[in-house]
Structure 1
Amino acid sequence: MLASISKLPRAALPIPERCRHLLHTLSADIKSDISSNGSWGPFGKGGRISGSVAAGWEDVRDAFESNFRNNLELGAQLVVYKDGTPVVDLHGYSDAMEGLGYNADTLQNVFSSGKNMEAVACMVLVDRSLLKYNDRISSHWKSFGQHGKEDIRVEEVLRHESGLQFFANPAFPDDFSKNFVPSVADVSATENGAVERVIEGCTPWGRGQRMYHASTRGFIIGGLVRQITGQTLGEFLRSEVTEPLGISLFCGTPRDEQARHRYADMRKAGTSHTLRAIIPAMLGMGGDPQAWSFVKKLVAAVRDSKHPLRGYPKAIPLEWAKDDVKHVNTVEGRTLEVSSGAMQGNARALAKVSALLANGGKIDGVRIVSEETVRLAMSDAKVLRDDVWGMTMAFSRGGFADFGSMTELSGVPCDNLAQLQRGFIGWAGKGGSLFLWDVERNIGFAYVMNGMDLGLVGGPRAKSLFAALSRKR
């Protein structure tokens, strides 16, 4: 059973008094800078905003522009649909992107926002009666049912409850250094089932508990899709979803296809920005308490050899483990089918899928799934606490999160953010991307960027956007 993870005591992170004084001084300086300069941020100054908004949606444009004014953006896109029609279509870039040609069609990595497309693939199979959410995966993929996996259901994987958040070696299930790790070569041979063989050999660890399947969910769903259809997940999504919708969203992009698109490299916020976010939080003087809380969780994992966070770096190719951002910026990285962490797209593409789901499975005269299937996928939302990541929210049987149900992120209460995002369903990506929809108000929403901030599920940039959207209720 997964051991409960409590708050790390102060004694575990001793700060000498002389250092504490320096940290207090630095924190005060940071707060003074923010007060006098109006803002500080990790990326280039200001920005150039282009695009359009429909009448009555000007507040959303103002919020998007404010993120650039506050130096929080590098390149970013925002698209919102209402009742199947685009009402916001904006893009912008800071002075650090000057001359690089960033526009509304530019593609960038969306990290975990791609998990929505894994779930959409399952929806299509359910809609065609080729799959049920409560099916045993082994009923479609016989070799999957080894080493204690024979009864794992599709919806358990989609809800992050299957115990396959990493691929534990059945001979050493508690020794995370011996987990089975897919290689780049394995992922490159997805069409030949190389990753599936890795999955078949592993055992579940902590099945029935909510433990975020950060990298593994896509590999498992990809194997299931290939077993049922004979196509890889990327091939299936292209033929059944993205091409019919006429959108640029890729799970593994062939080299010749890449040559037809412009990409924006992903860039992480610098060390100085990280310190500015964490140090004040360490001292209870503001900053980013979620980021600081997650740092403490990482320290706890370093101190405990059986901490499940130790298993997560082993869930992706070792070549990516130290710097996945570096690899997703390469031609080779973009060819790989890593749907849970390396899909490439733009806000127009994600927003159109969001609008489709908000609109009962149909957009611009194209129906991908039935209204009944959409309702089924969003049903039976189940709230659990993920003790590893300190995250409490509801996931539906189809694998979508209810953002209004969030009560904590990284162990820090987030009731205010949840209130702003009430009604929105979907998921978010590392660094800040958002891929959401609101069925009741028939709103599709997508925000993507290439400047990666520390915030979880959108961070401070998302708060301003959703504050503007909340005024449209």
Structure 2
Amino acid sequence: MKYVSTSLNEKYLMDSLVKSKFFTSSALILFTSILVYQYITFGPFAPLQCQLLRIGCLDTEIHGYVAPEFIDVKKAFIKNFENGYEIGSSVAVYYDGNLVVDLQGGYADLEAKRKYDNNTLQPVFSSTKVMSAIMIAYLVDRGFLDYNKKVSTYWPEFAQGNKENVTLLDLVNHRAGLSYLNTKVTKSDLEDLDKFAKTLASQPHSFNGVSSRAYHATTVGWYLNEIVRRVDPKHRTIGKIISDEILEQYDLEFYLLLPPNFISRVAKLYEISKIRGIFDMFNVFFEWWIGMIPNSYFSEFNDKESVMYKTFQPSGPFKISDFSDLETLTVEWPSVNGITNAKSMAKLGAIIVNNGQPINSVTYKPLISKSTIDLMSTKLPETFDHVLYKNITPASGGFAYLRYPGIEDVEFIGWGGYGGSSFIWNRELGISFGYAMNGLLPPKYGKTGDLRLWSVLKEVVNVAKKLKKEQA
């Protein structure tokens, strides 16, 4: 399968121009306009000559399994590659506890021509927060934690800097006033958690103790990790509990502590070019000009004293490009450095949809009880997020209720990660969905995910609705 080729009209025009003795100014303008249009409308991860002229495009293999009823999901997945929006990715879907989609395609390492297959592992950035939130629910279910308890109940030193009334519910839902740290975190901090705990505890509440939502993009996992270390009888981190009690028992791969010998399985990450980034900036200004982005967003973004500005400043020791390196992936950071694949995310979501009961696992022990799943799924009032600068509808367990273009009538629970990954489920339709990729598209204001996710998920929902209607 190849990316789409040049249309006949475009090919005729280019042949005519090439054969002519010289370009007239109008022809040159027209030709340049066509190239610019093709460049900005075609996906950013195809080779440049493919983006401009539709030649020299990549051959891309798609492999895996799809149930016959869900064949349109595969077609949408393939189209994302054909249109230049993917380098390598995987998508997986469980429906009513059955694996109905498990597809991979493209390259885990484009330069080395290493295939993206069912052995590939992928950094999923903030989709990691879904796994961390599930593990907090896991400990709530076992009586070690209570969402309504103050954090200081488990961590007395936390009660300083106007944080004495912050509850676990506040923290998991990004209402703890801790979306940034006043000091930059180093790798040695993450390797000495006792010392790091003092830094975390000393951070003052950024809203003077008033509960206000501000996305704790990098920090929430650090705080949750310290709480978990204090309540776990063995004083383990979230990642260690996952490794000890979750992965093998439920046949999953989701590492917060990647085994060093697995580094060769991790996909290389690719960001869009700087030129593409410039075009994206023009698009942002256009959305502002037509009123899609409020003026106040830019003032907050550029105000060095604003919570948004401080949150977006790099606080951790690693850059995006580091998230394929062993040094980064073997240091636990429960907000952002989870390593997994689409199937494991979808399967874990399927266990939640299945009221905590295992699916094709070596254990019969429920992961979480139905009552705790109901509790963690409880919808909280919609609230404005001072960092994401949009309204969010949280779920008590630290997830969010999400709607996507084209399927606005369906709500999913979960979250996504930088670049486009997604870890979501819908209990009513019996859907759980995982998507992971190594071509990173920058997030867009007010949007969750991007067109790759939306197009595939729309087909999943369409089929699920049809099947539910037939079963009724």
TM superposition score category, shorter chain reference: 0.7 to 0.9
CA distance 1:40–1:425, change in 2 (3 Å): same
CA distance in 1, matches of 2:33, 2:296: 22
- 1:77 corresponds to 2:90: yes
The alpha-carbon deviation at position 298 of structure 1 amounts to 5.8
CA offset at residue 430 of structure 1?
0.2
Report what 2:119 is aligned to. 105
Name the structure 1 match of 2:179. 165
What is aligned with 1:201?
A: 202
Cα distance in 1, alignment partners of residues 434 and 30 from structure 2: 39
Superposition TM-score, scaled by structure 2 size: 0.81
- Note the C-alpha offset of 1:153: 0.3
Instruction: Report the counterpart of residue 262 of structure 2 in structure 1.
Output: 258
What does the per-residue CA deviation read over 1:72-95, in whole Å, with 9 as the maximum and x for residues that have no partner? 001100000011110000000059
Q: What is the Cα deviation at residue 375 of structure 1?
A: 0.6
Aligned 8 A contact 1:141 1:224 in 2: yes
Residue number in structure 1 paired with 2:274: 271
Instruction: Give runs of aligned pairs for residues 380-395 of structure 1, distance below 5 A.
Output: 380-395=379-394
Q: Answer yes or no: is 1:464 the counterpart of 2:455.
A: yes
**Matches of 1:242 and 1:285, distance apart in 2:** 45
Partner of 1:301: 301
Amino acid paired to 1:124 = Y
SS of the residue corresponding to residue 69 of structure 2 reads: coil
Name the CA distance, whole Å, in 2 between partners of 1:25 and 1:339. Answer: 51
1:33-432 pair list within 5 angstroms: 33=38, 39-44=42-47, 45-46=57-58, 47-93=60-106, 96=110, 99-167=113-181, 179-190=182-193, 193-206=194-207, 207-229=210-232, 230-255=235-260, 257-258=261-262, 262-283=265-286, 293=293, 297=297, 300-302=300-302, 304-313=303-312, 316-317=315-316, 319-320=317-318, 324-364=319-359, 365-404=364-403, 416=405, 419=408, 422-432=410-420
TM-score (norm 1): 0.81
Of residues 224-233 and 448-457 in structure 1, the stretch that sits farther from structure 2 once superposed is 448-457
Aligned partners of 1:211, 1:99: CA distance in 2, in Å?
Answer: 41
Query: Structure 2: how far apart are the matches of 1:386 and 1:195?
Result: 27
Counterparts in 2 of 1:143 and 1:387: CA distance versus 1, 3 Å: closer
Contact 1:149 1:204 in 2 (8 A): yes
Larger Cα-atom Rg: 2
Q: 1:295 to 1:235 in 2, by over 3 A?
A: farther
2:436 equivalent among 419, 442, 448:
448
Give SS of 1:52's match: strand
Does the aligned pair in 2 maintain the 1:136–1:152 contact within 8 Å? yes
Deviation at residue 431 of structure 1 after TM alignment: 0.2
Structure 2 residue runs without a partner (length 5+): 1-28, 48-56, 466-472
Aligned partner letter, 2:390: M
SS of the residue 1:71 aligns to: coil
User: Unpaired runs of 5+ in structure 1?
Assistant: 1-23, 168-178, 405-414
Instruction: Report percent identity of matched pairs.
Output: 26
Q: Contact 1:53/1:88 (CA < 8 Å) preserved in 2?
A: yes
DSSP 3-state at the match of 1:245: coil
Could you tell me which amino acid in structure 1 is paired with residue 165 of structure 2? D
> Closer, same or farther in 2 for the Cα pair 1:145/1:83, shift >3 Å?
same
Distance 1:418 1:471, change over 3 A: closer
CA distance in 2: counterparts of 1:298 and 1:418, whole angstroms = 29
**One-letter amino acid of the counterpart of residue 112, structure 1:** S
Size of the aligned set, in residue pairs, is 414
